[in-house]
Amino acid sequence: MPTEVAGWTTLARVDPEAPDTSVGRPLANGSCRVLDADLRSVPAGAVGQLCITGAGVAVGYIERAGLSADRFRPDPFGGRRRLYLTGDRARLRADGRFEVLGRDDRQVKVRGHRIEPDEVEAVLGQAPGVCHAAVAVPGSETAGLFLTGYCVGDVGEAELARGAAGGAAAGHGAGPLPAAPRASADA
């Protein structure tokens, strides 16, 4: 389960031959719900966002008040607990187990680190001379994913690399982007 929750939240026996993506059933001192965009329960079998409540849910992210307010909410189902919105699309199956179907956002795991491509794009877009920035995540889960940044504007590669490495990406192993081939205007 996510680091936003101390300890485990669900438990399932994993069958490597099974094609499903069940994360099992909630453990004691916590609960999971599948909710719609208005934080209302969806019927069993319907797809919504997997949300977690319980004793182990964190208060929020350190020095990330905006993201904390988005992901950690008061539990609308009562009590003084916090509700953590995981960003995972899921459904509650008829057997009472939760099945994870993917993400609601673009978050990916690259070499064990959760990466938000939108945040990387924002950092690249702050470099002087950059008009537009985009991030792609080529590769595969088995061969390995990696980030590729694309920038449009009047900016040199060295300046862009310094801007990315000095920005929010600095603590995440950011470094210079590989040089991209340049197209000639008279080609």
Residue 52 and residue 92 in one domain: yes
Question: Is residue 64 in a domain?
Answer: yes
Q: Which long-range contacts (CB under 8 A, 24 or more apart) does 114-121 make?
A: 115/147, 115/172, 117/147, 119/168, 120/147, 120/149, 120/169, 121/149
Residue 85, CB-side half-sphere exposure with 13 Å CA sphere = 22
pLDDT tops 80 at residue 89: yes
Query: What's the average model confidence in pLDDT over 119-148?
Result: 83
pLDDT tops 50 at residue 21: yes
In whole angstroms, what is the distance from residue 74 CA to residue 49 CA? 16
Residues above pLDDT 70, as percent of the chain: 83
Instruction: Indicate the residue among 103, 133, 155 that finishes a domain.
Output: 103
Residue found under tokens 């099974």? 18
Q: Report whether 127 contacts 164 (CB < 8 A).
A: yes
Q: Is the dihedral of CA 100, 47, 26, 94 positive or negative?
A: negative
Question: Is residue 180 in a domain?
Answer: no
Instruction: Indicate the residue among 87, 103, 119 that finishes a domain.
Output: 103
Which residues form the domain of 148? 108-172
Question: Is residue 184 in a domain?
Answer: no
pTM over cut 0.75? no
Instruction: Indicate the residue among 48, 68, 103 that finishes a domain.
Output: 103
Question: Is residue 182 in a domain?
Answer: no
Q: What is the dihedral of CA 22, 23, 24, 25, to 10 degrees?
A: -130
Distant-in-sequence, close-in-space partners of 173: CB < 8 Å, separation ≥ 6: 113
Residue 97 and residue 143 in one domain: no
Residue 123 and residue 98 in one domain: no
> What is the reported pLDDT for 179?
46
Residue 52 and residue 88 in one domain: yes
**pLDDT confidence bin for 118, thresholds 50/70/90:** confident
Most confident of 113-122, 139-148, 174-183: 113-122
> What is the reported pLDDT for 91?
96
Residue 127 and residue 86 in one domain: no
- In DSSP terms, 88 is beta-bridged to 103
Residue 25 and residue 68 in one domain: yes
> What is the reported pLDDT for 16?
83
In whole angstroms, what is the distance from residue 124 CA to residue 165 CA? 10
In whole angstroms, what is the distance from residue 114 CA to residue 149 CA? 17
> What is the reported pLDDT for 69?
93
Residue 114 and residue 87 in one domain: no
Question: Is residue 1 in a domain?
Answer: no
Q: How far is CA 11 from the centre of its chain?
A: 21
Residue 71 and residue 144 in one domain: no
**How do residues 142-169 score in pLDDT, each as one tens digit?**
677 888 888 888 877 776 666 655 554 4
Question: Is residue 5 in a domain?
Answer: no
Residue 86 and residue 121 in one domain: no
